[in-house]
Amino acid sequence: MNLSGILPLEKPAGMTSHDCVLLARRWFNTREVGHTGTLDPDVTGVLPICVGRATKLVPILMEGEKAYEGKIALGSSTTTEDASGEVLDRQEVREAIPNEELERTFASFVGELRQVPPMYSAVKVNGKRLYEYARAGETVERPVRSVTVYAFDRTGHPSWSPEQGHLFIPFSVVCSKGTYVRTLAVEAGKRLGYPAHLSLLRRTMSAGIEQNACVSISEMDERLEQGRVAAPLLSVEHVLRDFPHYEVSDRELRKITNGAVLPASDYPRSKRIVFTKKQQALAIYTPHPRKKGMIKPDVMLRLDVGS
């Protein structure tokens, strides 16, 4: 079985993204599997998993914007910036926060931001992941990243939990690759005058795939028993639908399948262009870094489309 496509998986809490890749290898009986952006174990939601030749798209799909829904817990901060860490600081929220202040605070994050990754994260510094330093009780200088928040909104009324001593604020966010929503929650708390952490998070969109398109792990296990694992796979063409496409001639087909460098002026001007034949994606071309006015293959997807 030589399958190819993108599995829109619903990741449950308590599993790593790599755990899901291991399951996909079993479902599709191949090691040619890769996910398109790590989700923390406690985070649920959309985890697109590329299978077969679609694994070539992983770097491109990872670049796309992502959407989340969650809750900020106002009243305490933690070592991990989420609910799994140890409490660092507590401060009782003694009064209601006006909706206007919440909305003004959230809106202040929209745009390009400079973020420092949490110590409990997979970012590498000097060959080691930050969480390895954190678990050893060490601190290191962390790289500052530029990220973009496209939208950050309150999605409901805050709710007070007397048992936990927290004010929970529901939100949604649309952001670029590399954005730590945990850190957004902490920073939003600071601007509101309280320690805070991320209490709940669900990814609702990634690589253009929304959660209503996703399948669960239990559903995939059932499909494996029934021999129907291929059905939920999205095509390469589907996930590339928002890029400019160009249907090639037979002469161009031969050039492209041979990886030829082409004049950019002959084709739509774009950061990326998807060349197709019979509506099947052949290759993705990008501007040549050294040859001005030329484009070159970035990803070769299919060589078996006849003229």
In 75-144, beta strands by DSSP E: 76-78, 87-90, 111-115, 124-125, 128-129
C-alpha closest to that of 109 among 188, 198, 35:
188
| CA–CA dist 173, 67 (Å, integer) | 6
- Tell me how far apart the alpha carbons of residues 219 and 16 are, in angstroms, rounded to a whole number: 18
- β-strands 273-277, 245-247: how paired? parallel
Question: 216 — phi, psi (to 5°)?
Answer: -90, 165
Residue 250 bears catalytic tag: no
CA–CA gap between residue 175 and residue 4 (Å, rounded): 28
3-state helix, strand, coil in the chain (%, to 5): 25, 35, 40
Question: What distance in Å separates the CA atoms of residue 102 and residue 58, rounded to the nearest whole number?
Answer: 36
DSSP class of residue 249? P
Q: How many CA atoms lie within 13 A of 110 on its CB side?
A: 13
Name the residue among 304, 299, 297, 300 with its Cα closest to residue 267.
Answer: 297
The angle formed by the CA atoms of residues 269, 270 and 275, to the nearest 5 degrees, is 90
Is the separation of the CB atoms in 252 and 285 below 8 Å? no
Q: What is the enclosing helix (H) or strand (E) of 82? A: none
Residue 241: both structure tokens together: 């639908």
Q: Pick the catalytic residue: 40, 82, 89, 298?
A: 40
Sign of torsion, CA 116 122 124 127? positive
The set of catalytic residues is 40
